[in-house]
Each structure stands twice: as C-alpha cells, then as structure tokens.
Amino acid sequence: MRRVSGVILVTQQPAPRAGSAQAPTLFLNHKPGLGSSERTYLLSRNLHFSCTPNTLRLAHYALAFFNARAPIASPRSPAPRLTRPAPYKKPVVMNLFKILSASSLLWLAGCATTSLTDPTHPTGPGSNTTAPSRWFNPGVKPAVPGGELQPIATTQLRSTSVAALAPPLDLWERIRSGYAMPDLSNDLVTDREQWYSSRADYMLRMTERSRKYMFHIVEELERRNMPSELALLPFIESAFNPQAVSSAKAAGMWQFMPATGKYFELKQNMFRDDRRDVLASTKAALDYLQKLHRMFGDWHLALAAYNWGEGSVSRAIAKNKRAGLGTAYTDLTMPMETRMYVPKLQAVKNIVGRPQAFNSSLPLIGNHPFFETVDIKRDIDVAVAAKLAEVSLADFKALNPSISRPVIMAAGTPQILLPWDNAGIFQSNLETYAGGQLASWTVWVAPATLKTADVAQKVGMSEDELRSVNNIPPRVLIKKGSSLLVHRSQRLDKDVSGHVADYGQLSLAPEIILKRRVLKAGKKDTVASVAQRYAVSAQSIADWNKTGASAKFKPGQQIVLFLPASTRVEAPQRKLSDGKAGAAHAKGRATAKTPAKAKTGKSQARAKPAKTVKVVKK
C-alpha cells in the first residue's frame, strides 16, 4: 500500500441483522485534503478488514498516529474539522512512525479481503457482490455508521471437498467417483457378487471388451449428469459385445428390440443395423433411461422398465397400489430375469468399487478417448478402410459393428470410428491412395420378381456368391424392388444413393416348383373359368395353350396347366348326351337303366370310391 497524506477515518460497519451470520467489517476511509463537512470514501477501493477487537484497536491508534494531529472521529459526536497536519521536524519520530505503520499494515494483511460492494449495504449469499461504478466515484458521500464499536464475531470456517487438480489416470476411478444411485443390499446381490467374483476369466473378457467403448459412455453420462454406474449396464445386457443377439431378437451392446430401436431412430436394413452402432445405440440407450427415470422417478424402477418394459412396470405398480402394498423395486412382482436385473448391476458396481474385497482385479483402462470419428465422402470397402487405417479387420469391425456388408456406403454411414492414433494415418493414406477404386461393391434394385439364378445371370455373378453376400436362403424368389449387393462394373459404377442406403430391403417369396398337368375341358369350360378354378391368371393359361384370354374350350379339348406339385387336379368329365345323366354322373350315382360297372386294374385305382347303389329288378 502506498503512503498517502490526508485524513484517515477508522469506522466499523453496523451490526448485522438478527439471524445473520455476517461478521462486522472494519473500513479504512481516506480522502486527502478535505474537511470534516465532506464524507470520505474507502481507502484503496474499499479495502475491508475483518479483524479481532485487539487488531481493530491497534489499527485505530496506529492509523491516527500516521496523521499525527488528525483527530479520531467519535461515532457519538460530529466529526471535528480536520486540517492538514504540520510536518514533523524530528526525523527520529518519522522513522518510528514508518516502522510502526509498516508493522501494523503487515499484521492487517493477513485478514484483509477486497470487496467491490457498498460499505453501507451488507453482503451475503443473496446479495449482488458486483458493485456499480458509482462506488468508485469520489463525489459520492457514503454514510458513516453510528453507534459504539462492537466486537467482531468469530465464525467457523467449513471446508468442502476439494476437486483434484488433475483428472484420474484410471477410468475405473472416474466411474467410482460418479456413483449416484442408491445401493441395493439383499441376498440376490450377494449371490451375484459371488457368481461374478468366482469367474475371473469371464470378468476379464468383459472388461477387456469394454476398453474400446467405456470412455465414450462415461463422457456421455457425465455430460447428461447421470449416475456413472450406468456405464456398467452393458456388462449385464451383452457382456459389452456389440454383436450380441438375444433369443427375443434384441441386438447390440445395449440390447434394443427392433420396435424400440425404430422408436429411437435406429436404422435397421439389409446394409446396417444401428442397434449395434456404438455412438447411435449409446445415445438411444441413455435417452431411453432418462425417459424412464422421468416417468418413474427412481433409477431402480427405470432399470426394471428398461428390461421388462415400461408398460409392465406401470401395471405392476398400479396393482400394488390397489392392494395397498409398496411400489418400490423390491416390492413389485416381476419375472425372475427382471428381479435379478438390478442385483446383477449392483454386484458389478460393488466389484468395480472394491475389487480387492472380492479378490478381483480390473485391467487398467486409461482415462482418455479410445477412438475418433472420421468422415468419409465416397463408398469404400471395409477391407480397404481397415488397410488404410493400418488396423486389423477384427478391430475395425469391433469399432464399426453396425456395418453388416463388405462395403461402407457414405450416404448412409458418413462417419466411421478408428483408434485414436490411427485416425490421422487413415486420412494421410486416403489422400495418397493409388490403388484404384475404393469400393468394389454397389447395390442393384430388382426390376421384377425373379429367381436367384436369373438375378445372378443379370449382374454377372455366380448364384452361390450372390446368395452368400446377400444372405439369400434356398427355394425363394427375389421380389420386385429388392436391393441386392452386387459387384461393381462399368454398367454399375455409381455410389449408393441415400434412399437405398437408409431404406434398402431384401424381400423374398417362397419359390414354387410348378408341374405340367393336362386335363380335358368340360362342356362349359373357358379360359377364365379354369383360371379361377386353379387360382392362376387367365393370361398364363392362354399363353400355355396358345389361345386368347377370353377364349372358350371345346368339350374334351386338352388343357395344359403348370401348377404346384401339391395342387389337386379334378378328373376330366366324360361327355354325356343327356343333361340329367351328366348331372347324375357328376354326383357319382347310377340309374336302373345304366347300372354301375365294376372297374378293374389301374382304372379302379384312379377312381373315386363309389356310393352304394341299389339295383331294382323288374
């Protein structure tokens, strides 16, 4: 503090209001060269001192001595007229003054705090600590508090947790520090703790798989202010295997059902399944968990709904309410899988929190990103992308598990994940790539319903390869509009469009083996009537018999049909001269004039069983 000449006034802030924990504050006010009729302003921009009574008394007299003959204002009487003090003539006194002043100011420096607030207004948690600029205006006259000086109250300082200067090096420690869910403690938790801790190899495989994805999940949880133990949920769902598929068709690291995945905009087509995508599925899972937590207000119930369904949990809660029972997770009646769901997560949480207590060890996972996103602008083969990134094909697929075909379509998958150190390598190698086209595959859309062999012939591939690449089972037809992955050629050399990449599907129909059948036409048979009888188109029958679709068949004329082998064909009717007799024959009856004759041999074997006929003799 620089030495200034003039008048120094030692005052004390008024006593705080009742119930306030604020301690009185000492103010050192100074304004050089002014009389007592003018108020002063705070020395050195409102320098505040919160001190003990002894320190206050020492400062009072030391600063008065600093101005020698300057009077000390009494709070009970008006301040006397202050004049500029006469200079000292003896240098010894001045030296003594300097020493004493320096000592006093050093003593006070230990409890000094700067403030930018108005000295006439108390500060506190609810007040605005930023002072307007008018408090620095020398023309403003702050009020001098009245009353006797009061001892300054002492306060107890409370220390809170101190944030670490550097983040933890181990990601497990970061997860432990973010635990926020209430603990569950029961026999089921103990049982699962023993189960997991006794299978060290299984735990090691799971934790090693999680190394690629855990940092991203923890980052997303912290960004959303969600409990960090939710990062352990894929241990329970899929053992951190993004290719896992359950018996109920749930897929991916977070095990989304097809309908739930579509609700959260996870694309599912023949080229990719975003339920397996690391970024998309994690976002959808956390969105879903937040939605369930808002719905039930409890993380255990939210987890039960994630496993069992929100509707099932809501019905179980309503049932317990009607029965006057509790509605907590442990009070509900639920399937055994859901009953064990939260205890499993709690057991893994306990093992991660205290691995030594369970005689377990966790592999070191660094608290840093494992992968980086890389944009792609053109279609590229998976093998080519892995080669340019200088990573193994298995590692590439582990980071990009949603890609189910040998080509990455830029229109549908504009980003890929690569190990952090390999992302730059990929970009550099891609810029200097001179190996020809990046993609050797494209998509062909079927113009009509075709056999697999016919499609293979059209696109220049073998039938076996076409079936293998597109997962086409035997004895099916490829329906019109189906999207098929085929080799690129000069005729098919374009990148896949965004619509096909997002919505391409393979539609199949059972392949029916047709058998040639020949039957004789009846008296009134036409092309249309035969087509209706055997559920085929009239045009097909006309083509098979080289006639028109509106033509009539002559009685006894041979009709050629191509029908499935399982279709039964009616036996041709015999031509009868009498209409009534023809009707009787159609009904399988015989009259007295024309008794039924016994049939033998092959003819008898093909005939239908005849009804019993009573012959009347005359």
Q: What is the DSSP letter of 271?
A: S
For the segment 364-386, the average pLDDT, to the nearest whole number, is 95
Helix (H, G, I), strand (E, B) or coil at 126: coil
The model's pLDDT over 250-289, given as tens digits with 9 standing for 90+, comes to 999 999 999 999 999 999 998 999 999 999 999 999 999 9
For the segment 54-64, the average pLDDT, to the nearest whole number, is 53
CA distances from 524 to 347, 540, 549, 568, 612 (A): 80, 20, 15, 20, 29
For the chain, where do the domains classified as CATH 3.10.350.10 start and end? Answer: 513-568
For the segment 516-521, the average pLDDT, to the nearest whole number, is 88
- Mean pLDDT score of the chain: 77
Q: d(Cα 221, Cα 215) in Å, to the nearest integer?
A: 10
- Paired with 445 in beta bridges are 483
pLDDT attached to residue 61? 53
511 tagged catalytic: no
Would you say residue 348 has pLDDT above 50?
yes
The model's pLDDT over 328-340, given as tens digits with 9 standing for 90+, comes to 999 999 999 999 9
Alpha carbon of residue 60 to chain centroid = 65
pLDDT attached to residue 575? 42
pLDDT attached to residue 167? 78
pLDDT band at 238 (very low <50, low <70, confident <90, very high): very high
CB 79 within 8 A of CB 73: yes
| Unique residue bearing structure tokens 């369904």 | 309
Cα dihedral 262/301/212/357 (nearest 10): -160
Does the domain made of 513-568 have the CATH classification 3.50.50.60? no
Name the residue type at position 589: R
The radius of gyration computed from the CA coordinates of the chain, to the nearest angstrom, equals: 46
Catalytic residue among 220, 237, 431, 465: 237
The model's pLDDT over 490-518, given as tens digits with 9 standing for 90+, comes to 787 889 999 999 999 999 988 877 788 88
pLDDT attached to residue 105? 61
Would you say residue 529 has pLDDT above 80?
yes
SS3 percent helix, strand, coil of the chain, rounded to 5, is: 40, 10, 50
CA distances from 244 to 228, 544, 595 (A): 23, 51, 73
Question: 3-state SS of 430-479?
Answer: HHCCCCCCCCCEEEEECCCCEEHHHHHHHHCCCHHHHHHHHCCCCCEEEC
Q: d(Cα 503, Cα 269) in Å, to the nearest integer?
A: 6
pLDDT attached to residue 57? 55
Q: d(Cα 389, Cα 497) in Å, to the nearest integer?
A: 25
CA distances from 577 to 555, 583, 593 (A): 12, 11, 15
Phi-psi region of 599 (alpha: psi -120 to 50; beta: other; left: phi over 0): beta
| DSSP H or E stretch at residue 215 | helix 214-223
Alpha helices in 224-296 (DSSP H): 233-237, 258-263, 278-296
Q: What is the CATH number of domain 171-358?
A: 1.10.530.10
For the chain, where do the domains classified as CATH 1.10.530.10 start and end? Answer: 171-358
Of 352 and 598, more confident = 352
CB 407 within 8 A of CB 386: no
- Paired with 170 in beta bridges are 366
Would you say residue 581 has pLDDT above 70?
no
Name the residue type at position 560: V
| Unique residue bearing structure tokens 């000492």 | 26
Q: Is the dihedral of CA 49, 55, 57, 62 positive or negative?
A: negative
